[in-house]
Structure 1
């Protein structure tokens, strides 16, 4: 089987991603009493330093991975083109058995699912969750979550599949509601608290995944519209309201870091109850750091700043964009608790480059592995 890992540039993590923390974020972290990285020193351990002690004046230090090897994962949406591909003679892996074997070879230890189907021509029928579990086990992989449809009527069935696959987390890629109004978020919180209880009873955590709109502002005050709904905001963001309405024992979150920075770019202003426009920048780091153990999972998705597009960013392989993952993961702490799943929605290369998504998975894994931290011996 050809190795496609060298088909794309393999430069190591971009130093601007790691060192260029904004002064505004640093000031906010300091004001909150949270650690701020020193941006004037290397954020990566050089290979020559990895086998010897470092003395920074505070005792000897050891270099360890910022994201532990066992917690490095991938959501299969990033390689969906190869999971769903029919058998071909390209030499690029296809279907669960071949793709999961390749991901394990790259180094990934955890898998987040984005569906449980492959091309039926591979087996002459659809693969079963039990068969997928055997593939995971055979390759030393662990299922750490899924983007499923979370609905009361089918939730027990989803839990059955998750249990078969050995998951400790079950979730969705959709917001609990798309509404801008408190009443709908209140109803969603009631449902999620109940479903979270059901998940916990079976040894799992229920989680929801954000896009940028989840961090837009609620309409919760001011004059009412023709339907009796508020038209202005108190400045509370939708998902931040949901944090407070859900029980932390039952409802958890997967933070998509890329979409968090898109939210910072797109959702900066609201009209307050008095009709004044207010600017309030969203801080992705503080969003997590204030409640870090409610976030077992992350989408480690990178992006380049590009104000010519509506989102203000273009997706990029991990470590090749502008997002400072070093500062993010070091500041939020609890590194053994957090699991990072690489995602890049635009990774598939289509018929022109059938191996692209797996190439980028390899590049992104290497860059994720390069994130390091100095700890006292």
Structure 2
């Protein structure tokens, strides 16, 4: 039995430890001994009442970005027995338990309908399966933003966003220009009842070049230690510009972006903490990519993507610490889920595993 198959029948060690740690924190806070037999906190004898377990991510807020199953969304009809196209794939995702969908394009194989599907037809499929669109990765620019908002509202989504960083630059002047644009587009979105968001990769949490000697083009060559996206937090209006943290890429950033050269040429170390980054501004993050990875020191990123619950990222700690569970929406993603022609059902199998592990994240309360 391989690792993926085994996860369907046995709880992962990380999930057990995560749940135990959460329970221990509650019991310890109640004055009970975590290891004592017949602890009053567990027995219900404590005057503050019994512990109760609740989902850490409410069922209505568990989603998936369709990029994870893009191979089956865009597949032509075949005889594999695996769902293909929006109608069949979304029905299957609803069967697995997902309640929310984040889009990564609005196209399927034209042979399914003899033409391209329309946003109105996709909306009907969502409604028929009790699914809600919670966001999208589309192009965000001034020229097409009205059209993209039209599609978003047809699909009934609350958030509209992109899978790209606001700029790929390392200079404050370019992040300033991006902030001006996003503030304006954010205001336009708000007037239509939408929230505009951007999604990070690891480079967004790298360091700005904002100090020291200038290069031949007049650009700074060293850093004050300020991170690009954290600067963008400050330059954008919190009422109109929001964020989707890709948790996997945030931990890759922690692994990769930990030293900078200051204005005097001295190398300095600065630890990036994804949890603190969110917790300090938690209501600016309505969406997350709940993407897991195993550590691999042989790779530049330090991680390899796996289905949620099979990796090293502590989602229990992450979501419990940032709080606001009713506000936050978790979308499972695995860029590498598609199995190709050799295993056309793999992405939906990984979706099944990941939903189960997401649903078992638990918080203990009184």
Distance 1:253 1:12, change over 3 A: farther
Mapping of residues 302-313 of structure 1, within 5 Å:
302-313=292-303
Using the alignment, how far apart are the partners of 1:144 and 1:90 within structure 2? 30
Q: Kindly report the root-mean-square deviation, in angstroms, between the aligned alpha carbons of the 2 structures.
A: 2.2
Cα gap change, 1:37 to 1:324, in 2 (>3 Å) = farther
Cα deviation digits, residues 122-153 of structure 1 (max 9, x gap): 00000000000000000000000000000100
Q: Given the alignment, which residue of 227, 244, 247 partners 2:237?
A: 247
Q: Which of the residues 57, 65, 69 maps onto 1:79?
A: 69
Question: What does the per-residue CA deviation read over 1:77-128, in whole Å, with 9 as the maximum and x for residues that have no partner?
Answer: 0000000000001110000000000000000000000000000000000000
Of 113, 129, 132, 2:122 maps to 132
Contact 1:83/1:96 (CA < 8 Å) preserved in 2?
yes
Deviation at 1:290, TM superposition (A): 0.5
State whether residues 18 and 327 of structure 1, in contact with CA within 8 Å, keep that contact through their aligned partners in structure 2.
Answer: no
What displacement does 1:54 show? 6.3
Q: Between 55-64 and 259-268, report the one with greater CA deviation.
A: 55-64
> Shift of residue 15 of structure 1?
2.7
SS at structure 2 position matched to 1:74: strand
The 8 Å contact of residues 106 and 365 in structure 1, kept in 2 or not, is answered as yes
- Give me the whole-angstrom Cα distance separating, in 2, the residues matched to 1:306 and 1:256: 19
Segments of 5+ residues of structure 1 without an aligned counterpart are 1-5, 22-34, 42-52
Q: Residues 217, 54 of structure 1: CA spacing in aligned structure 2 closer, same or farther, 3 A cutoff? A: farther
> SS at the partner of 1:351?
coil
Q: Among 115, 137, 140, which residue is 2:105 paired with?
A: 115
**Unmatched 5+ residue regions in structure 2?**
29-41
Counterparts in 2 of 1:362 and 1:252: CA distance versus 1, 3 Å:
same
Partner of 1:317: 307
Residues in 1 aligned to 2:335 and 2:77: alpha-carbon distance in whole angstroms: 23
What is the aligned counterpart of 1:16 among 11, 14, 19? Answer: 14
Q: Distance in 1 between matches of 2:286 and 2:83?
A: 30
Cα 1:137–1:179 change in 2 (3 A) is same
Distance 1:348 1:243, change over 3 A: same
Cα drift, residue 260 of structure 1: 0.4
Change (3 A) 1:271 1:39: farther
CA distance in 2, matches of 1:239, 1:167: 25
Helix, strand or coil for the counterpart of 2:341?
helix
- In structure 1, distance between residues paired with 2:25 and 2:219: 47
**Aligned partners of 2:285, 2:241: CA distance in 1, in Å?**
10
Instruction: Show the counterpart of 1:26.
Output: none
Give the length in aligned residue pairs. Answer: 348
Q: 1:371 to 1:193 in 2, by over 3 A?
A: same
CA distance in 2, matches of 1:268, 1:183: 23
Q: 1:374 deviation in Å? A: 1.1
Match of 2:345 among 327, 336, 355: 355
Structure 1 pair 371–220 and aligned structure 2 pair: CA distance change class (3 A): same
CA distance in 2: counterparts of 1:8 and 1:36, whole angstroms: 25
